[in-house]
Structure 1
Amino acid sequence: MTANEMSVVDHLYELRKRLIICVISISSVAFYTYYKVNYLLNILMKPIAKFNLSLVYFRLTEGFVTKLEVCLIAGLIITSPIIMYEILAFVRVGLTRGEKKFLYKNFFILFSLFILGIIFGYTMILPHSLSFLISYGSTYLKPVLNGSTYFNFIGIFCLYTGIMFLIPYVLAILGKFSLISSRILRKKQIPVMLGVLVVEGVLLPSVDFLTFAVAASPVLFMYEVSIWVIYFNERRKRRRENVPSNSRKGFKNRGK
């Protein structure tokens, strides 16, 4: 009983340690980014540069708080390799040596997919979404953009696309460890499609349905790919399990 209690305490201590490292990393990068934030703001303003719009604020503290929010989101993205590593370091305690090796081999792929999702969202989806929304609204309204709302929208949008790009590959890893099967994923396909749209509706409430479809299509495509990857891995695994028994039968037949 004491050993179990100590193991739980050690587990919580490890979690606390990993969280502290993540918080310190994000805070340090955000603090450094604050002094360079104007360069970042100029980059974030490019999607609406052609509209010649000026961002406004409505509260005295909003200008300061908005810069802090941008720095925190930038810190979260920049330190994403550290965050992913700390998550893997926390999870590895309950894994075998082979599973640890497999996870660390896939670390670079996970990070690359996250960055690819952010770049895809910022370059391919966001400009068209903003262009449609501003052009449509300006036909009968005069656009006045709140700076805090605009920058938060971009930050959440990019984080969303980055995380969505991770999900299919994570499913493939779970399938590799036999924690999930292609049959289950196939049954959950329609709920997953609806779930992706619901998440988009919560995180991106002001975009149109066409933007929803464009943002969801790569995620759903990768989800479908992950189903087939898991399916072929399951077939390969079944073949490997059947080979020893068949070979033993062959030896017996030869002996006879």
Structure 2
Amino acid sequence: MADENIKDMSVVDHLRELRKRLIISIIFVAIAAGVIYDKVYYLIEILMYPIKKFDLNLVYFSITEGFVTRMELAIFTGTIAVSPIIIYEIAAFVNPGLTKKEKKLLYINLYFIVILFLFGMFFGYILLIPLILNFLISYGQEYMNPLLSGRTYFSFIGIFCFFIGVVFLMPYAIVILGKMSLLSSKILKKWRKYIIFFALTLEGLFLSNAGLFTCILTILPIIILYETSIWIVYFIEKRKKKE
């Protein structure tokens, strides 16, 4: 009976800790979103930069769309801005059940995950978004007049940059799978040509008019990240054989 009470208290403690971490994360998101909501015009000016040369104005199609778009933009950007804090809170929740070595490994992994994700989003916005929007708008202008919904435009940028951020995490995921012996360097080497072909196909579709230097600059990080993950998995396999 006493053991059951201890177990129940343990579950309650975990729930309290989870609630605490969620509340802290929500507070930071709310603060960041509030600041961004107040200064949203500066953010919009930055987000409009990729289509500046087209001299387009954003429009809305319903009474509430202007307010909802501003709220969504503030919350999404605020969440990205405080994502390191959110990830830290997740780690802090998991922390008590880990050994000292596991804690160290967890924080190292989270550090690289945050850096890769944010760098991927930055890379997507600075280099890829202007090229893709230039292609899509120029292509559409051949037979239609562009009329951009603000909500659609901002959603496209947010989803695309988030996707690129996740893509930049893929090599890290490959290394983790390699450590778990679920992927081998031989398989990754076989997949190399398909990865390069896939990346070149996407470039051919969206960046055909971007120029050789821009195309190389775009595909190079993908190849470097993939090649790096192959070599890391290879050395992990080599170390395991020695052990």
Shared fold (TM-score, shorter chain, > 0.5): yes
**C-alpha distance after superposition, 1:159-189 (max 9, x if no partner):** 22122212322442464xx4353339938x8
2:141 pairs with 130, 138, 142, which one?
A: 138
2:70 aligned with 1:67, yes or no? yes
How many Å separate the matches in 1 of 2:174 and 2:98? 17
The alignment status of 1:17 with 2:20, answered yes or no, reads yes
1:205-220 correspondence runs (5 A): 210-211=205-206, 218=221
- 1:15 Cα offset (Å): 2.6
User: Could you tell me which amino acid in structure 2 is paired with residue 179 of structure 1?
Assistant: M
Partner of 2:210: none
Larger mean Cα displacement after TM superposition, 41-50 or 85-94:
85-94
Distance (Å, rounded) in 1 between the aligned partners of 2:111 and 2:144: 46
**Change over 3 Å in CA distance of 1:157–1:236 after alignment to 2:** same
TM-score, structure 2 normalization: 0.78
Corresponding residue for residue 245 of structure 1? none
Gaps of 5+ in 1: 198-206, 242-256
Question: 5 Å matches for 1:193-232?
Answer: 210-211=205-206, 218=221, 222-223=225-226, 225-232=228-235
Structure 1 residues 234, 92: closer, same or farther in 2, change over 3 A?
A: farther
Count of matched residue pairs: 224
C-alpha spacing 1:185/1:26, structure 2 compared with 1 (3 Å): farther
User: Is the Cα contact below 8 Å between 1:182 and 1:227 reproduced in 2?
Assistant: no
* Equivalent residues of 1:182, 1:228 under 8 A apart: no
Post-superposition CA distance 1:123-161 (Å, at most 9, x none)? 111111100100000000011000110011111111221
The equivalent position to 1:76 in structure 2, one of 66, 71, 79, is 79
**Whole-Å separation in 1 of the counterparts to 2:228 and 2:10:** 39
CA distance in 1, matches of 2:186, 2:28: 36
User: Is the contact made by 2:28 and 2:82 (CA closer than 8 Å) also made in structure 1?
Assistant: yes
Look up the equivalent residue of 2:187 and give its one-letter code. Answer: R
**Percent identity at matched positions?**
49
Rounded to whole Å, the distance in 2 between the matches of 1:232 and 1:166 is 20
Give 5+ residue unaligned stretches, structure 2.
Answer: 208-214
Quote how far apart the aligned CAs of 1:210 are.
Answer: 2.6
